Amino acid sequence: MTFKFRRGNAGIYLKAREARRAMGRIYYATMESPVGQLRLVAEEMGLRMVWFLHGGAKEKSHGDWKEDEAFFIDVRRQLREYFAGELREFDIPLLMEGTEFQKRVWKTLQTIPYGETISYGELAKKIGDPKAVRAVGAANGQNPIPIIVPCHRVIGSDGSLTGFGGGIENKKKLLELEKGQRRLL
């Protein structure tokens, strides 16, 4: 089984009400990766979430979700190629539910070139709201699809590796991979 739609790296963004109406069965799978176990969550229209399974309440699936490893063959392939340093841009349809502000931030994250970083302040400027640095940081932290939507490419204004749902060590690994300093697989 695969996604019904293919939409390049820009993804598919639906309003919350439209997303709930379009949502069919939710599928999930777990994937081992160089940055720890990942939980992949999707429905037929696209990928909804990637969770780092290193503790916390998000580890449990909902009762009406269906575990289906085969549904995620392409997502896993692309993630493995990324971790091997062979893939720079993902081609996975995305269904990201959030506020209009969050969606603007997440869409802008996808424009940060592979191997480059920007600060939260630069990201705020890119979305056209230079005073919204803290709000941008909060939206970045709420990114439901890390790695694929590269929130790890956002750093502190002093160059520090700040906040990442997968942990600072994993953020460092991902940035080193993208700068060609190592392969993760």
Please give the positions annotated as active site: 151
Could you give the CA distance from residue 20 to residue 61 in angstroms, rounded to a whole number?
18
Helix (H) or strand (E) holding 56: none
Nearest Cα to Cα of residue 36 among 144, 168, 176:
168
The strand order across the sheet containing 38-43 reads 46-52, 38-43, 27-31, 66-67
CB atoms within 10 A of CB 75: 22
Q: Which residues contact 180 (CB under 8 A, 6 or more apart)?
A: 85, 115
Cβ burial, residue 9 (10 Å; 0-12/13-18/19+)? middle
Helix (H) or strand (E) holding 99: none
Partners of 40 in beta bridges: 29, 50
Residue pair 134/112 in contact (Cβ under 8 Å)? The answer is no
